[in-house]
Amino acid sequence: MDEQNTFETAPRTEEMENRLAKLQKIKDEGRDPFGHRFTRTHQHRAIIENFAALENQEVTIAGRLMTIRGHGKATFANLSDRSGELQIYAKIDQIGEESYQRFNDLDLGDLIGVTGTVFRTHRGQITVQVQKWELLTKALRPLPEKWHGLKDVDTRYRQRYLDLISNQEVRETFLKRTRIISTIRRFLDEKGFLEVETPVLSVIAGGGHARPFNTHHNTLDLDLSLRIALELYHKRLIVGGMERVYEIGKCFRNEGISTKHNPEFTMIELYQAYGDMTDMMDLAETLIAQTAQEVLGTTKITYQETTIDLTPPWSRLSMTEAIKQEAGIDWIKEATTDEAAIAIAERLGLNTKDLKTKGQVLDEVFSVFVEPKLIQPTFIVDYPIEVSPLAKRKPDQPELTDRFELFIYGREMANAFTELNDPLDQRERFMAQAREKAKGNEEAMVWDEDFLVALEQGMPPTGGMGIGIDRLVMLLTDSPSIRDVIFFPLMRPKE
């Protein structure tokens, strides 16, 4: 078989053939259809927002041609850049007959640069009158048939570039994502935290309960995992005296896909020496509230038609208190043994196959009956030790830990501990996790002897916290799915 015929190519439409013919004509005329460096003076939004100062002034702009409407010897068009759309106006007596004909021969999607004068039309629309223009890139494929508000979800996620071209609100979502992350960085930098980078590939995928992605390093002949969390390396840095650290980075969990989960996601984890869980609570509510205020201008937001008040302070409840409020179960009195707890789960209709201890049952009852009802920001504290292998025990209730999870709109937004810094206790916890893994629990935490050695050097009392960046962006941009806030979410390949 001829090698060149072994490659699949996207089919050419009649529209594409017409554009290719125009491309050849441009080349034949000695013009460059794919342009060169172009210097702009303004983005479109800046012209609209500063019209009073720019009226009758010359500006240079660039962008993608989204509409074109010819009226004899004058043509209106809309040009789109990252900031939005702006109308331009070309007249034959202003730019000359040859340039005007070429302008009207443009296709939607072409990228052009324009120099012209800012004015307002009789209908009140801010416009740039074209004095000169040039083609920067000839688009060979047409925009989607209904590019105004492209709705097809599969196309939007697979071909995000079409989504960004077609939907201004999508561009705004991702611009807000960038602002959210930069605001968080600035907030933590000002509080003396150091931004760090730790390995993505590791011999041990530690720091969380999750199934990792595995790979192999050929040169070292070494099996490796992509990280599921950032925690254990950060604690090593605390041992080393870095005292306050944070990292915004990708984590990977070989688990399901839903509106709340993507296998590749962005986390921020931060650790503060000589702090504890209460410091992390204060930090969480201040960080999120200030980020909302800076990015949205308010701490009272609307998410999926529900009003949510992010103004601190936020509610704080123990797991058992929350279960009593929402499920009517007095956990402390009724779940006195593992068997009693399992009986409660069975009475509630839960699947108890993998539930062995009352701590595991408590976590499951909470997840099913309480978590979806936590709409306003709420810190849930006092997690059982069985599901918190890296958190310090409560001194007065050693079966529980100094841990909280933050819930907003029924979703976990943050997880934090007073970190376990007792290496002997940590070793026992790892042993318990190893027993779980031996029983077939693929999400049990992996033994990390090097981390234990680091703890044995002495780690100061420390508070630590992780926040899911993608979920926070969902909340602050009113996005219903995590895929709406990730540029390129994982998709099954097309046939």
Q: Residue 28 burial by CB count (10 A; 0-12/13-18/19+): exposed, middle or buried?
A: exposed
Mean pLDDT on 52-77: 95
The answer, yes or no, to whether residue 115 has pLDDT greater than 60, is yes
- Rounded distance, CA 5 to CA 18, Å? 24
Nearest by Cα to 135 from 94, 58, 54, 79:
79
Q: What pLDDT sits at residue 217?
A: 95
DSSP 8-state code for residue 391 = B
Q: What pLDDT sits at residue 154?
A: 84
The answer, yes or no, to whether residue 147 has pLDDT greater than 60, is no
**CA distances (Å), origin 364, targets 233, 320, 338, 397:** 29, 12, 13, 20
- Rounded distance, CA 195 to CA 248, Å? 8
Mean pLDDT on 301-307: 98
Average pLDDT, the chain: 93
Q: What pLDDT sits at residue 148?
A: 55
Catalogue all structural domains in the chain, each as residue range(s) with its CATH number.
12-143 (2.40.50.140), 168-314+376-484 (3.30.930.10)
Answer for the pair 35, 137: CB distance below 8 angstroms, yes or no.
yes
The answer, yes or no, to whether residue 145 has pLDDT greater than 80, is no
Q: What pLDDT sits at residue 197?
A: 97
The answer, yes or no, to whether residue 180 has pLDDT greater than 80, is yes
> Residue 21: what residue type?
A
Q: What pLDDT sits at residue 13?
A: 86
| Rounded (5°) CA angle 414-277-324 | 70
State the sign of the Cα–Cα–Cα–Cα dihedral 484, 485, 487, 491: negative
pTM of the model: 0.90
Share of the chain above pLDDT 90, in %: 77
> What confidence tier does 1 reach under pLDDT thresholds 50, 70, 90?
very low
Q: In the numeric block, which tokens belong to residue 288?
A: 């999120």
Mean pLDDT on 352-379: 91
Strand partners, 380: 317, 405
Q: In the numeric block, which tokens belong to residue 115?
A: 């120099």
Please give the radius of gyration of the chain, using alpha carbons only, rounded to the nearest integer.
29
Q: Residue 184 burial by CB count (10 A; 0-12/13-18/19+): exposed, middle or buried?
A: buried
> What confidence tier does 54 reach under pLDDT thresholds 50, 70, 90?
very high
- Rounded distance, CA 269 to CA 238, Å? 13
CB atoms within 10 A of CB 223: 10
> What confidence tier does 391 reach under pLDDT thresholds 50, 70, 90?
very high
Q: What pLDDT sits at residue 356?
A: 83
Q: What pLDDT sits at residue 353?
A: 86
DSSP notation for 297-353:
S-SEEEETTEEEE-PSS-EEEEHHHHHHHHH---HHHH--SHHHHHHHHHHTT---T
Q: What pLDDT sits at residue 156?
A: 86
Mean pLDDT on 48-74: 96
Mean pLDDT on 251-276: 94
> What confidence tier does 309 reach under pLDDT thresholds 50, 70, 90?
very high
Strands (E), 236-389: 244-252, 264-273, 300-303, 306-309, 315-318, 378-384
The per-residue pLDDT for range 65-85, each reduced to its tens digit, is: 999 998 889 999 999 999 999
Mean pLDDT on 260-278: 96
Mean pLDDT on 278-292: 98
Comparing 124-133, 287-296, 439-448, the range with the smallest average pLDDT is 439-448
